[in-house]
């Protein structure tokens, strides 16, 4: 028990030090741009999902949809912000989470004069491209990996393996389709038809989102949206991105589109404040929180029955 308390205290101390460093860095940046920032930097890093942030101070191994929506809203409400620069490095994620971020960006386009520019890093594929397609302009590196426009549902059948080790499974369910995508048997034809219809509908929504966000017709897009990936150069030739360049090229494009004179002043809206993540430690179950956080950091993130883009 004493060892657990020592470990928990050490973990809390490390978290506090990390948060303090992050806050000090953010404070210094805020002082430089306070009252004068005109470009909101929004980072979309890692797998996109609706999963809660795994760290007690809002840090996460992926791109949390609710956090990103909140960041976009704060940037939209800041009177000085003329543009949002999305820095995307993501292989995609769940369909609903990607769609939610896209819709918030499109709401910003419709309700304000804020310009949205996407800067693609190593990867901005599938759900990463879904988010990028809400931008007025997409900048990619020549070797960025993008595209992968499509939807997928995966399952595994481990019944043969279980038979070898002598494990038997038993399922009690309310209806014949409740255990759809069970890993303990083959997928039935009627189940496959249901899943295909869900995938097809989500895929159609994906296509319509790209058409709405970009200057491309459904007829042009459909042949490109078979799940294949493209380099930035290939994507530009296919009208999936608008120009080639790195983050600083994207920043210059942002200044041009938003009609910002002089050097653009950037504020990183993705940085959290010092006290933003204290909630878990101030709750009545604070002693259990560090271990729960550690478990969340190490658990497998694959979610059954999730539409992945």
Residues annotated catalytic, as ranges: 126, 178
Smallest CA-to-CA distance from 296 within 285, 304, 308, 288 is with: 288
The span from the CA of 63 to the CA of 146, in Å, is 17
58: left (phi over 0), alpha (psi -120 to 50) or beta: left
Q: Kindly state the tokens that stand for 31.
A: 């002082």
Smallest CA-to-CA distance from 81 within 28, 34, 45 is with: 34
User: What DSSP character marks residue 223?
Assistant: G
Cβ distance 158 to 183 under 8 Å? yes
The span from the CA of 98 to the CA of 231, in Å, is 21
The span from the CA of 259 to the CA of 83, in Å, is 10
Cβ distance 97 to 127 under 8 Å? yes
């Amino acid at each position: 028990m004493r060892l657990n308390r020592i470990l928990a205290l050490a973990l809390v101390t490390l978290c506090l030090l990390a948060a303090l460093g992050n806050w000090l860095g953010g404070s210094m940046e805020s002082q430089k741009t306070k009252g004068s920032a005109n470009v909101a930097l929004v980072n979309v890093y890692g797998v996109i999902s609706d999963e809660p942030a795994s760290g007690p101070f809002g840090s996460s191994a992926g791109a949390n949809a609710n956090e990103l929506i909140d960041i976009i809203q704060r940037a939209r409400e800041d009177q000085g912000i003329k543009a949002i620069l999305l820095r995307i490095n993501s292989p995609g994620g769940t369909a609903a989470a990607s769609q939610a971020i896209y819709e918030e960006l499109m709401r910003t386009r419709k309700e304000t004069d804020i310009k949205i520019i996407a800067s693609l890093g190593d990867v901005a594929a599938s759900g990463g491209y879904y988010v990028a397609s809400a931008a007025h302009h997409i900048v990619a590196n020549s070797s960025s990996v993008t595209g992968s426009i499509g939807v997928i549902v995966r399952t595994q059948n481990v019944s043969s393996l279980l038979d070898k080790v002598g494990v038997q499974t038993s399922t009690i369910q309310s209806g014949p389709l409740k255990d759809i995508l069970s890993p303990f048997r083959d997928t039935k034809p009627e189940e496959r038809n249901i899943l295909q219809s869900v995938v097809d509908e989500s895929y159609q929504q994906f296509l319509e989102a790209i058409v709405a966000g970009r200057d491309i017709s459904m007829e042009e897009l459909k042949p490109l949206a078979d799940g294949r990936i493209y380099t930035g150069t290939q994507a530009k030739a296919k009208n999936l991105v608008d120009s080639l360049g790195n983050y600083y090229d994207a920043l210059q494009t942002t200044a041009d589109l938003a009609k910002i004179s002089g050097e653009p002043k950037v504020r990183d809206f993705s940085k959290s404040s010092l006290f933003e993540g204290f909630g878990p430690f101030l709750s009545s179950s604070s002693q259990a929180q560090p271990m729960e956080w550690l478990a969340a950091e190490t658990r497998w993130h694959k979610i059954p029955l999730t539409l992945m883009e």
